[in-house]
């Protein structure tokens, strides 16, 4: 019969129940969420707030070389 050895690092329960380990795990979780949010924000197209809000300084007439162009 072949003995099965664990392939990863196994820590004793006393270390896993330690308060310092819990703080470290919380930090890693928050850090992961921040980096995932930044990566998703970089992939999405840019949003310009000025496109949603009307501008008062828009020209009423076009100054294009094509006078029939839309305003």
Contact 61, 71 (CB under 8 A): yes
pLDDT at residue 68, rounded to an integer: 75
Instruction: Confirm whether 32 is domain-assigned.
Output: yes
The pair of three-digit structure tokens given for residue 29, joined into one six-digit string = 């979780």
Could you report the per-residue pLDDT of 10-62, keeping only the tens digit for each? 888 888 899 999 999 999 999 999 999 999 999 999 888 777 776 666 666 76
CA dihedral over 39, 44, 48, 54, signed as positive or negative? negative
- Count how many domains the chain has: 1
DSSP, residue by residue, 21-70: HHHHHHHHHHHHHHHHHHHHHHHSPP--GGGTSPPTT--SS--SSSTTS-
- Domain range for 33: 16-51
Instruction: Confirm whether 68 is domain-assigned.
Output: no
Instruction: Confirm whether 61 is domain-assigned.
Output: no
Instruction: Confirm whether 38 is domain-assigned.
Output: yes
pLDDT at residue 57, rounded to an integer: 66
Instruction: Confirm whether 63 is domain-assigned.
Output: no
pLDDT surpassing 70 at residue 2 = no
pTM of the predicted model as reported, rounded to 2 decimal places: 0.54
């Amino acid at each position: 019969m072949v003995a099965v050895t664990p392939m990863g690092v196994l820590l004793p329960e006393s270390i896993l129940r330690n308060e310092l380990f819990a703080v470290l795990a919380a930090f890693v979780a928050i850090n992961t969420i921040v980096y995932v949010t930044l990566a998703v924000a970089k992939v999405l197209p840019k949003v310009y707030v000025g496109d949603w809000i009307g501008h008062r300084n828009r020209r009423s007439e076009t100054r294009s070389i094509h006078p029939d162009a839309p305003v």
